[in-house]
Amino acid sequence: MKATHMLPGARCQQLATSRSQLRPSAIPSPPPPPQTLIYRLSTQLRSAAPRVVVAGNDSSSPDEEQISNPDPHPATALAQHRFWETQPVRQFKDGLGPSLVEGPIEQPTPVDAVKQEPYNLPALYEWTTCDMDDDRTCAEVCNLLRDNYVVNEASTFRLSFSKEFLRWALCPPGYFKSWHIGVRVKATQKLVSFITGVPSRIRVRREVVRMAEVNLLCVHKKLRSKRLAPVMIKELTRRAHLENVWQAAYTGGLLLPTPIATCRYWHRSLNPKKLVDVRFYRLGPRMTMSRAVKLHRLPEAIVTLGFRKMELADVPAITKLLRGFLSQFFIAADLDEKDVEHWLLPVENVVDSYVVQKPGTNELTDFCSFYTLSSSILNNQNHSVLKAAYSLYNVSTKTPLHQLVNDALIVAKKEDHDVFNALDIMHNHAFLDKLKFGPGDWRRHYYLYNYRIPFALRSPALGLVLL
Ligand SMILES: CCCCCCCCCCCCCC(=O)SCCNC(=O)CCNC(=O)[C@H](O)C(C)(C)COP(=O)(O)OP(=O)(O)OC[C@H]1O[C@@H](n2cnc3c(N)ncnc32)[C@H](O)[C@@H]1OP(=O)(O)O
């Protein structure tokens, strides 16, 4: 699970938004519209309640019509990548098709053959392992990210991580401290770069693969474009290999070789007035503030009988519900009870989960969850923080999905979130329009490292939220 992220893969996309009634203004200009299979298929898909999720079907080989669709990322149109062209990832020039083998690209070596020494850094810098339990180190990481992590193009918002959030995101069951990697200036000990991985199990089709979920890659603004990022990535890769982990999952807004799927953030305004004030939204020509407020008004009380906050005792039932739900996606998180306890049990201002308990019984029928991540609002006199909720996993077996998520919107609003974000993955497309989410401008690419999927997946094929 993760992220990047949400978030954070290129998190700026979370900050960009448009909607027919509320239009973006100074928010990032969209990348060129992808003339892609993914895009066309996901559009078609909205009308066609998908159960499955390969760009085509769920049989082991996609049919002719599906594989003859154009490659979403034809090699001729794309930039060269000095670093990525050397890595075990599907290259743009490989194209797509059944002749390519699905699965690991490189085979593992014995762990004792893995390079034992860290990669070289320029002489002024040194490696550090960031102990997130240590308050001072954790604060240093927060500060590095606060000043240097993802901003939107107009530089009006920057993602802002609390210590609690970082500990939740970086210390799941079985995590490796050695995967929380920093670089310091030797002379001053200032932290200037960071990258993290957390261990996870991800099922791709029928294979459950141990992976690192990589996130929070950050290089200090003054050290950009000096090829430090590839060294950070190689060092994390080396440390993952030392733990016998040979695959990774990550997301980002940058187009690199080669996404397994591309999805988009949708935004549901909870506090339209503030969102307009801080220029997250711009009112469309036929929209007034009072109409926008009215349009986005939510009921005061939740609608679903038996809707309540998740508790520790719910973990086994929720794990079962979630595993059943996730089994239908081509690629999905493989979560056990320990994972569910860590990732989904509520932590104030970090993660919220709600269950629906059938009245008069112990049966849990439905589940919804979101995490909280704020952004600093730069250069605004009235507001300094934008509080956003990000949809995690929503499972409905009895309550209609849109009703369940509407109740999540109501509780998120009560907890002072300004906006509720959701990716168009899993079954989310089924509630986005209905609940007045608007599509954001930026896309988020999902990647696998050292694992080839030889066809394009539609975003509803993804049963995996990376932070
Ligand atoms: C088995 C285990 C494996 C584990 C590893 C799995 C892979 C994990 C991969 C990491 C997943 C991270 C997930 C997240 O955290 S996504 C969030 C990324 N962070 C930000 O956007 C924060 C603000 N930006 C920065 O701090 C810097 O601009 C960063 C650090 C992003 C690049 O620094 P800088 O701008 O100074 O560049 P450079 O001169 O050092 O290096 C240039 C090279 O780096 C490639 N580059 C640039 N950005 C990214 C990116 N987001 N993913 C992968 N590669 C990236 C770029 O294409 C080029 O290579 P090539 O195009 O020439 O080939």
Q: How confident is the model at residue 282 (pLDDT cuts 50, 70, 90)?
A: confident
Look at residue 83 and give its three-state secondary structure: coil
In the chain, where the domains are located = 43-261, 266-445
- Of the candidates 107, 67, 75, 114, the one whose C-alpha atom is nearest the C-alpha of residue 91 is 75
In this prediction, residues 113-134 reach a mean pLDDT of: 98
The pLDDT of residue 387 is above 90: yes
How far, CA to CA in Å, does 339 sit from each of 60, 212, 319, 405, 464?
Answer: 29, 15, 9, 22, 13
The pLDDT of residue 353 is above 50: yes
Give distance in angstroms: CA of 239 to centre of ligand 1.
17
The pLDDT of residue 50 is above 50: no
The pLDDT of residue 421 is above 90: yes
Render the burial of 77-110: b for 16+ CB within 10 Å, e for the rest. eeeeeeebeebbbbbbebebeeeeeeebbeeeee
The pLDDT of residue 2 is above 70: no
CA gap 91, 231 in Å, rounded: 20
Q: Strand 207-219 and strand 247-252: pairing?
A: parallel
Q: What is the pLDDT of residues 452-461, one digit of tens each?
A: 999 889 999 9
The predicted structure's pLDDT at residue 70: 55
- Judge if 43-261 and 266-445 fold alike in CATH terms: yes
- The per-residue pLDDT of the chain, averaged, comes to 86
In this prediction, residues 249-274 reach a mean pLDDT of: 96
Look at residue 444 and give its three-state secondary structure: strand
Look at residue 142 and give its three-state secondary structure: helix
The predicted structure's pLDDT at residue 19: 37
In this prediction, residues 211-223 reach a mean pLDDT of: 98
Residue 326 or residue 153, greater confidence:
326
* Degrees to nearest 5, angle at CA 342 with 341 and 344: 70
CA gap 37, 43 in Å, rounded: 10
Which residue of 217, 222, 233, 234 sits with most ligand 1 atoms within 8 Å of its CB, as the best mutation to test the pocket? 217
Look at residue 339 and give its three-state secondary structure: helix
In this prediction, residues 26-43 reach a mean pLDDT of: 27
- Ligand 1 proximity of 286 Cβ (cutoff 6 Å): no
Q: What is the pLDDT of residues 235-247, one digit of tens each?
A: 999 999 999 999 9
Based on the residue annotation, tell me whether 322 is a catalytic residue of this protein.
no
CA gap 152, 172 in Å, rounded: 29
Q: What is the pLDDT of residues 58-82, one digit of tens each?
A: 444 433 322 324 567 766 557 899 9
In this prediction, residues 235-264 reach a mean pLDDT of: 97
Q: Is 366 exposed, middle or buried (0-12, 13-18, 19+ CB in 10 A)?
A: buried
Q: What is the pLDDT of residues 163-197, one digit of tens each?
A: 999 999 999 999 999 999 999 999 999 999 999 99
Atom of ligand 1 nearest to the CA of 224: 36
**Which amino acid, one-letter code, is at 267?**
H
Percentage with pLDDT > 90 across the chain:
76
Percentage with pLDDT > 70 across the chain:
84
The predicted structure's pLDDT at residue 74: 67
Determine which residue's CA is closest to atom 3 belonging to ligand 1.
237
- Ligand 1 proximity of 252 Cβ (cutoff 6 Å): yes
Tokens in use for 450? 């050292």
- Ligand 1 proximity of 75 Cβ (cutoff 6 Å): no
Residue 150 or residue 320, greater confidence:
320
The predicted structure's pLDDT at residue 100: 85
Whether 338 and 175 have beta carbons less than 8 Å apart is answered as no
- Of the candidates 7, 71, 1, the one whose C-alpha atom is nearest the C-alpha of residue 36 is 71
Q: What is the pLDDT of residues 78-110, one digit of tens each?
A: 789 999 999 999 999 888 777 789 999 999 999
The predicted structure's pLDDT at residue 76: 58
Tokens in use for 89? 């990832």
What ranges in 217-314 are assigned the alpha helix state H?
228-242, 272-277, 289-295
CA gap 50, 53 in Å, rounded: 7
- Ligand 1 proximity of 451 Cβ (cutoff 6 Å): no
The predicted structure's pLDDT at residue 379: 85
Give distance in angstroms: CA of 329 to centre of ligand 1.
28
Tokens in use for 379? 């250069």
What ranges in 194-335 are assigned the alpha helix state H?
228-242, 272-277, 289-295, 315-326
The predicted structure's pLDDT at residue 4: 30
43-261: what fold?
Aminopeptidase (3.40.630)
Look at residue 391 and give its three-state secondary structure: strand
| 266-445 CATH choice from 3.40.630.170, 3.30.1300.10, 3.30.70.890, 3.40.50.970 | 3.40.630.170
Give distance in angstroms: CA of 132 to centre of ligand 1.
22
Whether 50 and 41 have beta carbons less than 8 Å apart is answered as no
The pLDDT of residue 253 is above 60: yes
Q: How confident is the model at residue 366 (pLDDT cuts 50, 70, 90)?
A: very high
How far, CA to CA in Å, does 151 sit from each of 194, 279, 320, 375?
Answer: 16, 14, 38, 9
Catalytic residue (choose from 22, 326, 464, 467): 467
- Ligand 1 proximity of 228 Cβ (cutoff 6 Å): yes
- Of the candidates 298, 278, 276, 297, the one whose C-alpha atom is nearest the C-alpha of residue 287 is 276
> What angle in degrees, to the nearest 10, is found between the helix axes of 163-170 and 135-148?
100
Lowest mean pLDDT among 37-51, 79-93, 254-268, 384-398: 37-51
Query: DSSP secondary-structure letter at 15?
Result: H
Q: Is 248 exposed, middle or buried (0-12, 13-18, 19+ CB in 10 A)?
A: buried
